[in-house]
Chain A
Amino acid sequence: MNLVLRRVAAMLPALIGVVVCIFVLTRVLPGDPARTLAGDQADPSVVAKIRTDMGLDQPLHLQLVRYFADLLHGNLGFAWHTGHSVASDFASRLPATVELALVALLIALVAGVPLGVISATRRDRPVDHAGRVFSLLGASMPLFWLGLMVIVVFYNKLGWAPAPLGRVAEGINPPTGITGLYLVDSLLTGDFVAFRSALSHIIWPALCLATGSTAIIARMTRSAMLEVIGQDYVRTAVSKGLKPSVVTLKHALWNAAPVIVTISGLQFGQLMGGAVITETVFTWPGIGSYVVQSVLATDYAPVQAFTLVAAVVYLAANLVVDLVNARLDPRIADA
């Protein structure tokens, strides 16, 4: 508990810094939000009135204070292209993004860790080379293109994937909202029809989103494993006759785990960025596609809010990483 408090306290300056960064970005860079809101043809007096309403005529430090105060009240601004407050739009869409990112992270871990372990234990053999090729391709493939190709092949040609529209098939009621995560909610309420539909809808975008992370997790697992495998206690474990699988899983993988946890946390943050692309391609109703709609409507309050939320998620993921690693390796907790 102490550790949690310490880490949260350590995060605060970073969070404040992030908020200031976003504020500076929106105020110092060219572009006039009042002009954008009023439209190109608007009368200068209208623009001036909007500027006053938005507080843009105030000195910069007062604007910053107001911005902080708004944030503390949960006011993320108003999205005029939807006609709702950004906070309420986020509340309805964030679970879809979180669910997508979680499923993608799960896929990346389930595929990436074994791939890395196998590559490390069969170093320089064909499996290892195949793993390296996969990692290179995974890192080079544009996510938006991969998504489109998946739709062409698995929806258009093979008919395996459902139409890339929404989280469940049309005509199926979404499960009763408990967590907002359809897979979890449908299981909790025993609604297996909704569960199957939700699973078939989420799996394709999640697979695409997971590709890059799988490649990175596999590479990092491989190098962490190689580092550990070369150490004396692993050699001792082998020489005292333990089964190779026990040595690999219990001695080596367990000690490589902090690296894997760290990289997974970082990847979860990156998945938020990837979600923007994936959600757009698969018309997934999360905050990623919402941000793109906002950008196209030159409505920037949601973009700023998304930047903030993504940074918070990133920092929170780091916090979880620290806590998990402290459990895995007590030396980290003491540090």
Chain B
Amino acid sequence: MPDTALQTAPAARPTTTLRLLLRNRLAVVGLVFIALWTLGALLSGLSPYGATQPGAGALLQGPSLAHPFGTDNFGRDLLTRVLAGGRISLWTGLIAIAISLLIGVPLGAFAGFVRGRAGGLVMRLMDMLLAFPSLVLAMAIAAALGPGMVSAMVAVGIVGIPEFARIVHGQVLSLRERDFVEAGHAIGLPGSSILIRHIVPNALAPILVRATLGMGYAILTAASLSFIGLGAQPPDPEWGVLISDGRGYIISGEWWMTTFPGLAIATSILGFNLLGDGLRDVLDPRLRTSK
């Protein structure tokens, strides 16, 4: 999306935003999905079975009352594993987005505020990172760091940096021409204070939207990395690992090993996408999806 396409709407109060958001039916559906998986992740520890403990039931049993999602090839309870996997996936998404935000926002703000050669250099570097298809870049970084959950988080986080930098850069470029910034300069506020206390807070709306949409994307990319062996490693119940585990059993008919973790990924990503779209509608009516 071009930088200029994202402009801030006048900042609405948080309570107003929440009220408008709750009126958006699709956003509420998204919130429900996210809430369910968060709750499941929190409660997964209460399961009578351990997430990595073998022999909770017979091997490769289909869904039943005792094991609603069935059991896997080690007899582990799949429901417990999927819920515990939610904890890993949600944390991965959060940490990856935090990395993207913590690096991307200052970089974009700096480039937009300072402009000139240094600013241009930063943005060219961001463009360079965008020249890689995102999954390929994530793979290269995770492979260089060595397979593992932390590598996947860092890789997904780095891949997200340019998007945030671009959004903030565009925001800062347009905001710095506004009267309130000029007023700040006029009363002698230092540049850093204008940037941090006046410009960045006004650019929060598109950052929030991007972060929400980015959560879904981060979970998906991390799961993809785990699926190809670069992210979380067995026996961790990460969703991509669960699907990779179940892959060997689809031809022999044990469909539940891949179906339930897949639905978990799909519904959680759908949740974040719906919520992100809803937030965008509320925070910036000009960008409504049904334009």
The segment out of B59-67, B128-136, B190-198 that lies at the interface is B128-136
- Prevailing SS type, chain B contact patch: helix
In the complex, per-residue mask of B249-285: 1 if CB is within 8 Å of any chain A CB, else 0 = 0110101001101100111011001100000000000
CB distance B136 to A280 under 8 Å?
Answer: no
B185 near A: Cβ within 8 Å?
no
B22 near A: Cβ within 8 Å?
no
Q: Which residues of A contact B145 (CB under 8 A)?
A: 29-31
CB distance B133 to A277 under 8 Å?
Answer: no
CB distance B216 to A21 under 8 Å?
Answer: no
CB distance B228 to A276 under 8 Å?
Answer: yes
CB distance A140 to B266 under 8 Å?
Answer: yes
A74 near B: Cβ within 8 Å?
no
CB distance B146 to A30 under 8 Å?
Answer: yes
A168 to chain B, nearest CB (A): 20
CB distance A273 to B229 under 8 Å?
Answer: no
CB distance A17 to B124 under 8 Å?
Answer: yes
CB distance B136 to A307 under 8 Å?
Answer: yes
Q: Which residues of A contact B124 (CB under 8 A)?
A: 17
A189 to chain B, nearest CB (A): 33
Given A25-B141, A137-B270, A307-B140, are A151 and B227 neighbors across the interface (CB < 8 Å)? no
Q: Which residues of A contact B289 (CB under 8 A)?
A: 132
B161 to chain A, nearest CB (A): 13
CB distance A306 to B228 under 8 Å?
Answer: no
Taking a contact as CB atoms closer than 8 A, the residue among A14, A277, A300 that contacts B131 in the complex is A14
CB distance B139 to A303 under 8 Å?
Answer: yes
CB distance B134 to A140 under 8 Å?
Answer: no
- Prevailing SS type, chain A contact patch: helix
Q: Which residues of B contact A105 (CB under 8 A)?
A: none
Q: Which residues of B contact A103 (CB under 8 A)?
A: none
CA distance A310 to B136 in the complex (A): 7
- In the complex formed, the residue of A with least CB distance to B127 is A14
B254 to chain A, nearest CB (A): 10
Q: Which residues of A contact B261 (CB under 8 A)?
A: 145
CA distance A74 to B29 in the complex (A): 52
A5 to chain B, nearest CB (A): 20
In the complex, per-residue mask of A298-322: 1 if CB is within 8 Å of any chain B CB, else 0 = 0010011011001100110000000
CA distance A21 to B147 in the complex (A): 20
A223 near B: Cβ within 8 Å?
yes
Taking a contact as CB atoms closer than 8 A, the residue among A21, A156, A277, A295 that contacts B250 in the complex is A156
Taking a contact as CB atoms closer than 8 A, the residue among A29, A142, A311 that contacts B132 in the complex is A311
CB distance A306 to B136 under 8 Å?
Answer: yes
Given A17-B124, A25-B140, A31-B144, are A269 and B266 neighbors across the interface (CB < 8 Å)? no
CB distance B228 to A17 under 8 Å?
Answer: no
A204 to chain B, nearest CB (A): 14
B143 near A: Cβ within 8 Å?
yes
CB distance A18 to B131 under 8 Å?
Answer: yes
CA distance A140 to B223 in the complex (A): 12
Q: Which residues of A contact B240 (CB under 8 A)?
A: 142, 144
A149 to chain B, nearest CB (A): 7
- In the complex formed, the residue of A with least CB distance to B272 is A140
Q: Which residues of A contact B253 (CB under 8 A)?
A: 156
CB distance B131 to A315 under 8 Å?
Answer: yes
A96 near B: Cβ within 8 Å?
no
In the complex, per-residue mask of A181-211: 1 if CB is within 8 Å of any chain B CB, else 0 = 0000000000000000000000000000000
B123 near A: Cβ within 8 Å?
no
CB distance B134 to A270 under 8 Å?
Answer: yes
CB distance B133 to A304 under 8 Å?
Answer: no
- The size of the chain A interface, using a CB distance under 8 A, is 51
B222 to chain A, nearest CB (A): 11
A22 near B: Cβ within 8 Å?
yes
Q: Which residues of A contact B135 (CB under 8 A)?
A: 270, 273-274, 276-277
A226 near B: Cβ within 8 Å?
yes
In the complex, per-residue mask of A140-156: 1 if CB is within 8 Å of any chain B CB, else 0 = 11111100110110001
B220 near A: Cβ within 8 Å?
yes
Given A149-B258, A151-B250, A295-B147, are A314 and B216 neighbors across the interface (CB < 8 Å)? no
A38 near B: Cβ within 8 Å?
no
Taking a contact as CB atoms closer than 8 A, the residue among B131, B251, B265, B270 that contacts A311 in the complex is B131
Taking a contact as CB atoms closer than 8 A, the residue among A140, A272, A280, A310 that contacts B270 in the complex is A140
Q: Which residues of B contact A296 (CB under 8 A)?
A: 229
- In the complex formed, the residue of B with least CB distance to A143 is B224
CA distance A310 to B147 in the complex (A): 21
CA distance A274 to B133 in the complex (A): 9
CB distance B139 to A18 under 8 Å?
Answer: no
- In the complex formed, the residue of B with least CB distance to A141 is B266
CB distance A291 to B139 under 8 Å?
Answer: yes
CB distance A148 to B270 under 8 Å?
Answer: no
CB distance B262 to A145 under 8 Å?
Answer: yes
- For window 260-281 of A, CB contacts with B under 8 Å fall at 269-270, 272-274, 276-277, 280-281
Q: Which residues of A contact B128 (CB under 8 A)?
A: 14, 17-18, 21
CA distance A17 to B129 in the complex (A): 9
B291 near A: Cβ within 8 Å?
yes
The 7 closest A-B pairs by CB, nearest first: A273-B135, A145-B262, A273-B133, A140-B270, A140-B269, A307-B140, A29-B144
Binding site for A on B (CB under 8 A): 124-125, 127-129, 131-137, 139-141, 143-147, 216, 220, 223-224, 227-230, 240, 243, 246-247, 250-251, 253, 255, 258-259, 261-262, 265-267, 269-270, 273-274, 289-291
Q: Sample 29 A-B pairs with CB under 8 A, ordered by A number.
A: A17-B125, A17-B128, A25-B140, A25-B141, A26-B144, A31-B144, A31-B145, A136-B274, A139-B269, A140-B220, A140-B266, A140-B269, A140-B273, A142-B223, A142-B224, A142-B266, A144-B243, A148-B250, A148-B258, A149-B258, A152-B250, A156-B250, A156-B251, A273-B133, A276-B139, A306-B140, A311-B132, A311-B133, A311-B136
